[in-house]
Every structure is written in C-alpha cells, then in structure tokens.
Structure 1
Amino acid sequence: MRAFIFPGQGSQSVGMGSALAAASPYAREVFQEVDDALGQHLFKLMSAGPDSDLMLTENAQPAIMANAIATLRVLEREGGVRLADKADFVAGHSLGEYTALCAAGAFDLPTTARLLKLRGQAMQAAVPVGEGAMAAILGADRDKAQAIADAAAEGEVCTVANDNDPSQVVISGAKAAIERAVPLAKEMGAKRAILLPVSAPFHCPLMRPAADAMADALEKVTLQSPLVPLYANVTAAPVADPAMIASLLVEQVTGMVRWRESVLAMVAGGVHDFVELGGKVLGPMVKRTAPDATATSVVTMDDIEALLKAL
C-alpha cells in the first residue's frame, strides 16, 4: 500500500516551482490558478523572492501547497497517473493536510489557496510578533520534550507542537518559556535545542483565535469526501467524513501534529511506500520513524520521471 504525503511550513525557498513551471504547462496552470484565486503574484514571489516576503506565513502556506499540487498535476497529466489508483491514503504535515485534501479532491485548488492564505493571516494575527516562539528539541522523544516544556513553562504556555520522528520534537508557546527550554533541554538529556525562525507559536493553545477563524471559514466552503482517506494530524487515524475532517482541521490549529504516530499507524495499516510531493522534509522523517518503509521525495521533473517508472 502507498501513501502520498505533503510537506508543511519550512519547506519554502526562493526559486521553488520555477524549474517545474519552465518544464511543464500543467505546473504553470496550477501557479496561475493560485495567483488568480488570491489576487496576487504569488508565483513571482516564489520564483524571485524576496525571501523575507516568502517567509511570511500568509505567503509560505499557499506557496508550499501550490508547489506540491503543481508536482502532482504534472505527475497526473503528463504521466497519466490518477491519485486514487496509486495511493491508498494521503497525509500532510500541518498546512500539508490542506494540500493532501486538495490532492484527494476534497477541496478545489482555489478554495485551498484561499483557506491557506486566511490560515496564515489568522495564525500570524493570533499572537503579537515577539510574544511567541518555537524550538526544535533534537535527540529527545515526545515524553522527554514534554517534560522539558513543562519544566520551562513557569505558568506560561509551553507544549509539544510537532512530534515529527523519534529524534525530533518541536515545542511551542510563550517566547520567554521557549527561551528557558533551550538551555534546559541539554540539562535534561536532549542532544540540543534550536530556536526556529518562525513568526508565531503554531500548534499550541495561543492559536485559539486562529482556530476560531478557521472554523468560520470552513463553514462557508464545500468539502467533499476525499478520493482516499486522510490520516489526520491530531488523531493519527484515517478519516473520510467531510464534517469530521472540517472539525479536525479546526482542532489542528491548536493541537499537536502527531506525525510520528501517523507514520507508524499507516505502516501498521499496511502502507510500505511513502511518496512526498513538493518537498524533501517528510521523507527523512518517515525513514527515521519506519526504517523498513520506502520513502521517496519528488520535487523535480527528473524525480517525477523516476517515480513514474516506479509506480
């Protein structure tokens, strides 16, 4: 069995999608459709920067999605591949969950772009700049990372945000608490902790205003049943019911991304082949979590052609 998986924030970089757009009209079509939906020249920003603008959450989220969907569109149109024929499940890391749902036909592309633009804006607005932070705890499992977060909290929000793989967990919360956690991590047995260059403390209770904004937005859009089930971030379990998916997308804004558990659950469910579209971040996480699984990251035309031979 196979899962198509889609990356989250942090996989953006200036130049993303440019080579694909130069090589395929189907990729250009996706980027134009996203530009039209947002009323901005997002692809120009993806291609040429500046990096400071692309890093903004409201731009990074739809850009990462557009790049992944363009990769899938080329695979489908030029390779004659249908997702429903080649994938048994989809999953995405944080914003990648929206990409996964778009890939599986639950959201159309313009709706996905607009939802992610709004999600980025709402997440940024939820906590004033400079009041929240995130840090990666390396060489620690989730329990150890949570113990570090608890020790650093001192009454402030500080909790596990992303359980990525057995050796990488991200914590999120009030800036002062996260800054206390960084030196504490090594003292408490982690290899090290690194402050992340993010503009807001994602996936923690401080994001409640953004969750409310997404609840309102999701009530106003059409969400179809996906062509294949989605492994949801907050449950690490498959879901196909549109109402339940919408509820989980809201919960995801403040909830933990249970990526390690999702990978293990997919493997336990029979998935042995993971294909990451539009990034090179999740594949290594999969391998660190499930060393016996196959993980392929697909970004370039050469990657697409190699995948087509393997499918």
Structure 2
Amino acid sequence: MRAFVFPGQGSQKVGMGVELAAASAVAREVFEEVDDALGQKLSAIMAEGPEDALTLTENAQPAIMAHAIAVLRVLEQEGGISLADKCDYVAGHSLGEYTALCAAGAFSLADTARLLKLRGQAMQAAVPVGEGAMCALLGADIAKAQALADAAAGGEVCTVANDNDPGQVVLSGHKAAIERAIAMVKDFEIKRGVLLPVSAPFHCPLMQPAADAMAAALAKCPPGALRVPVFANVTAAAVSDPAEVQRLLVEQVTGRVRWRESVVAMQAAGVDSFVELGGKVLGPMIGRCVSDVSVASVVTMGDIEALAKEI
C-alpha cells in the first residue's frame, strides 16, 4: 500500500518550481492558476524571491502547496498516473494537509490557494510579532518534551506543537516560556533546543483567532468528497467524511501536528511505500519513525519520470 505525503512550512526556497515549469506546460498551468486565484504573481516570488517575501507565512503556505500540486499534476498528466489508482492514503504536515486534500479532490486548486493565503494571514495576525516563538527540541521524545513544556510554562502558553519523529519535537507558545524551555533542556536529558526562525507560534492555543477565521472560511468553502482518505494531523487517523475533515482543519490551527503517530498509524494500516511530493523534508522523518518501508522524495522532472516508471 502507498501513501502520498506533502510537506509543510520551511520547505520553501527561492527557485522552487523553476525547473519543473521550464520542462512542463502542466506545471506552468498550475502556477498560473494559483497566481490568478490570489491576484498576485506568487510564481515570480517563488522563482526569483526576494527570500523574505517568500518566507512570509501568507506567501510560503500557498507556494509550497502550488509546488507540490504541480509535481502531482505532472505525474498524473504526463506520467499517466492516477492518484486514486496508485495511492491508498494521503497526508500532509500542517499546511501540507490542505495540499493533501487538494490532491484528493476535496478542494479545487484555486480554493486551496485562497484558503492557505487566508490561513497564513490569520496565523500571522493572531499574535503580535515578538510575543510568540517556537523551538525544536533535538534528541527529545514526546514524553520528555511534554515534561519540559509543563515545567517551562510558568503560567504562560508552552505546548507541544509538532511531534515530528522520535528525536524531534517542536514547542510553541509565549516567547518567554519558549526561551525558558531552551534554557532547561539539559535538565530533561534533551540534547538541545533551537529557536526556530518563524514569525508566529503555530499550533498552540495562542492561534485561536486564526482557528476562528478558518472556521468562517471553511463554512463558506467546505471540503467535498475525497478520492482517497486523509490521515489527519490532529487525530493521526484516517478520515474520509468531508464534515469531519472540515472540523479537524479548524482544530488543526491550535492543535498538535501528530506526524510521528500518523506515520506509525499509516504503516499499521498497511502502508509500506511513502512518496513525498514537492519536498525532501518528510522523507527523513518517516525513515526515523518506521522501518521496513520505502520512501521516495519527488521534486524534479527526473524524480517524476523515475516514479512513473516504478509505480
């Protein structure tokens, strides 16, 4: 069994999609459709930067999605591959869940781009710049990370935001609490804590205003039927009911990204082949979460051609 998985924020880089657009009219159409949907030349920012413009959450989120969907569309239309025939589940890391739902047919490309633009703006606006922060804990399992978060909170928000793999957990919350957590890592036998270069504290209760904004947006643009089930971030379980998908997308804004558990659950469901589309971030995480699976990362035209032959 196979799962197609889609990367989250942090996988953007200037020049993304340039080689693909040069090689494929299908990819160019994806980037043009996203540009039209957003009323901005996002494809130019993806191709040429500047980097600080691409890193802006409201640009990074739709850009990462557009790149991954371009890879998928080229695979489908030029590689002769049907997602519904060749994969059993989809999943994505944080914003990648929207990409996964677009891939599965629950949202159109244009709607996905608009939802992610809004999601990025709402997440950025939820907490004043400088008040929130996130840190990666290296050499920490979920139990150690939770204990550290509880100890560092001191009456402020300090929660586990991402459980990425057995050795990497991300905390999110008030800046002072996150700084306390980094200073306390050795007390909890954690190798080190690294402050992340993010503009807001994602996936924690401080994001409630953004969750409210997404609830309103998704009420106007609800997901439709899925061609294949999605493993949801907040439950680490397969979901195919659109109403449940909608509820979980709202919960996801403030909830934990249970990526490690999702990978383990997908393997338990029979998945032995993972294909990351549009990035090379999730593959290494998957390899650290489970063994006896194949993992492929598909970004370039060469990657797409190799995968099309293999599957």
> TM-score with structure 1 length normalisation?
0.99
Q: Secondary structure at the match of 2:256?
A: coil
Greater Cα offset, 164-173 or 216-225: 216-225
Corresponding residue number in structure 1 for 2:134: 134
Shift in Å, 1:188? 1.5
Deviations 1:93-130 (A, max 9, x none): 00000000000100000000000000000000000000
Corresponding residue number in structure 2 for 1:16: 16
Deviations 1:221-261 (A, max 9, x none): 14211100000000000000010000000000000000000
Corresponding residue number in structure 2 for 1:288: 288
Runs of 4+ in 1 over 2 A off after TM superposition: none
C-alpha contact 2:80 2:308 (8 A) present in aligned 1: no
1 CA distance for matches of 2:148 and 2:292? Answer: 30
Q: Which amino acid aligns with 1:44?
A: A
Corresponding residue number in structure 2 for 1:310: 310
C-alpha contact 2:134 2:195 (8 A) present in aligned 1: yes
Task: Kindly indicate whether residue 271 of structure 2 is the aligned counterpart of residue 277 of structure 1.
Answer: no
Shift in Å, 1:48? 0.4
Residue correspondences, number: 311
2 CA distance for matches of 1:143 and 1:254? Answer: 20
C-alpha contact 1:162 1:257 (8 A) present in aligned 2: yes
Corresponding residue number in structure 2 for 1:98: 98
C-alpha contact 1:5 1:274 (8 A) present in aligned 2: yes
Task: Kindly indicate whether residue 267 of structure 2 is the aligned counterpart of residue 267 of structure 1.
Answer: yes
Q: Which amino acid aligns with 2:199?
A: S
2 CA distance for matches of 1:177 and 1:17? Answer: 38
Corresponding residue number in structure 2 for 1:228: 228
Greater Cα offset, 181-190 or 66-75: 181-190
Corresponding residue number in structure 1 for 2:160: 160
C-alpha contact 1:186 1:193 (8 A) present in aligned 2: no
Q: Which amino acid aligns with 1:203?
A: H
2 CA distance for matches of 1:197 and 1:186? Answer: 22
Q: Which amino acid aligns with 1:154?
A: G
Corresponding residue number in structure 2 for 1:83: 83
Corresponding residue number in structure 2 for 1:172: 172
Q: Secondary structure at the match of 1:16?
A: coil
1 CA distance for matches of 2:41 and 2:12? Answer: 16
C-alpha contact 2:160 2:172 (8 A) present in aligned 1: yes
Corresponding residue number in structure 2 for 1:60: 60
Structural mapping, 1:175-214, within 5 Å: 175-214=175-214
Gaps of 5+ in 2: none
1 CA distance for matches of 2:297 and 2:230? Answer: 19
Corresponding residue number in structure 2 for 1:69: 69
Q: Which amino acid aligns with 1:72?
A: L
Q: Secondary structure at the match of 1:29?
A: helix
Deviations 1:179-220 (A, max 9, x none): 111121123101111000000000000000000000000000
Q: Secondary structure at the match of 1:5?
A: strand
Greater Cα offset, 186-195 or 125-134: 186-195
Shift in Å, 1:292? 1.4
2 CA distance for matches of 1:199 and 1:292? Answer: 37
Q: Which amino acid aligns with 1:197?
A: P
Shift in Å, 1:293? 1.1
2 CA distance for matches of 1:222 and 1:63? Answer: 21
Q: Which amino acid aligns with 1:145?
A: A
Corresponding residue number in structure 1 for 2:245: 245
Q: Which amino acid aligns with 1:292?
A: D
C-alpha contact 2:75 2:81 (8 A) present in aligned 1: yes
